[in-house]
Amino acid sequence: MQTEIIPLGTGAAIPVSDRHLPAMALIHDGHVLLFDCGEGTQFQLLRAGIKSLRIEAIFITHLHGDHYFGLLGLISTFTLLGRSTPLTLVGPAGIQTIMCAMPGFDQAHLPFELTYKELHEGFTREVVVETEAYTVEARPIEHRIQAVGYRFQERSRPGRLDPDRARALGVADVKDFARLKAGKPVKLGGGHVVRPEEVVGPERRGVSFAYVTDTRPCAGGVELARGADLLYHEATFTSELYERAIETGHSTAIEAATVAREAGARRLLLGHFSARYTDPSVFIEEARTVFQNTEVAEELKRYPI
């Protein structure tokens, strides 16, 4: 079962010729989650070869336009395509009011069920999506307005079955192999019982991804990134514009790297770059002085987790 992310937009506030507004797709076993939806996200989905109708949930970090102005067009397209499967939209309080203010966007006019999950000022942590395969949790982060970060966590998976060991113990029926894999003992002829722990390895930890953008370094971001296999953290500026980062509620590359180190993340992917920077290598050079396993996010590149 593969999980991967695809940056669709790595810019900040102002689009430039080779950098789009914020959006990130996560694909898990064919299911698609979308984090932020800046203007132009539909075109980036097309370029990435992602079928937009497969999006099951959208997670908006905050209500600055560069992070959600693409929503209206995307949901309008869902309507034109006759979408029938439910969609969950998660974001700060106010997102439902904004969406429903547009004619035709209330539930009575949509051909699919649109469920809103709003996060109000003062919340500390909330699991906003939960399935048999994964959860997505939200925590507050620190920006000029209410902002939210998210963490995707795959559930732990059963250990690997050793078929040779199982056969040596007398297991032959394919259904019995499945029972052992599911953690159930198998009774063989003569009353002999083969237990799962005899032939199945230890439970495997699920993969994790943290999406932390438009924020100052903060406790919420650290907790979202705690032990994450991959952390996407904003690095709007380099350290020479540290005062500007404080003023605008953003982070520098070295601050993003410090969050990754403090959280014990395995990998760091930087994004949300100010339009004033044309060479992304400056972000890598700065961040790697603190956290070596750092990359700059490339739009439309697939990053397995």
Residues 123, 173, single domain; the answer is no
What confidence category does residue 193 fall into, taking pLDDT thresholds of 50, 70 and 90?
confident
Using CB atoms within 10 A of its CB, is residue 130 exposed (0-12), middle (13-18) or buried (19+)? Answer: exposed
What's residue 143's pLDDT? 98
Least-confidence region, from 32-36, 157-161, 280-284 = 157-161
Residues 180, 153, single domain; the answer is no
- Determine the residue type at 229: D
Q: Is the pLDDT of residue 190 over 80?
A: no
pLDDT tens readout for residues 52-97: 999 999 999 999 999 999 999 999 999 999 999 999 999 999 999 9
pLDDT tens readout for residues 236-265: 999 999 999 999 999 999 999 999 999 999
Q: What mean pLDDT do residues 226-245 have?
A: 98
Distance CA 148, CA 61 (A): 5
**Number of continuous H segments (helices) and E segments (strands) in the chain:** 10, 16
What's residue 227's pLDDT? 98
Nearest to residue 29, comparing CAs of 50, 2, 4? 2
Residues 243, 229, single domain; the answer is yes
Residues 146, 289, single domain; the answer is yes
Residue 108 belongs to domain spanning:
3-157+204-304
Q: Is the pLDDT of residue 192 over 90?
A: no
Q: For the chain, what percent of residues have pLDDT higher than 90?
A: 78
Q: Is 29 tagged catalytic?
A: no
Q: Is the pLDDT of residue 1 over 80?
A: no
93: domain CATH number? 3.60.15.10
- Tokens read off for 78: 């869902």
What's residue 133's pLDDT? 94
Residues 35, 170, single domain; the answer is no
Residues 176, 286, single domain; the answer is no
What's residue 182's pLDDT? 81
Q: Is the pLDDT of residue 291 over 80?
A: yes
Q: Is the pLDDT of residue 209 over 90?
A: yes
Distance CA 256, CA 127 (A): 24
Residues 15, 44, single domain; the answer is yes
> Which one of 147, 172, 199 terminates a domain?
199
Residues 28, 75, single domain; the answer is yes
pLDDT tens readout for residues 112-165: 999 999 999 999 999 999 999 999 999 999 999 999 999 999 998 877 888 888
Residues 113, 45, single domain; the answer is yes
Q: How many domains does the chain have?
A: 2
Residues 286, 213, single domain; the answer is yes
| Element holding 298 (H helix, E strand) | none
| Element holding 138 (H helix, E strand) | strand 134-142
Residues 48, 184, single domain; the answer is no
- Tokens read off for 175: 């259904």
* Contact residues for 60 (Cβ-Cβ < 8 A; gap 6+): 36, 37, 67, 68, 71, 89, 90, 91, 92, 95, 148
> Which is the catalytic residue, given 66, 176, 214, 229?
66
Residues 229, 286, single domain; the answer is yes
Phi-psi region of 173 (alpha: psi -120 to 50; beta: other; left: phi over 0): beta
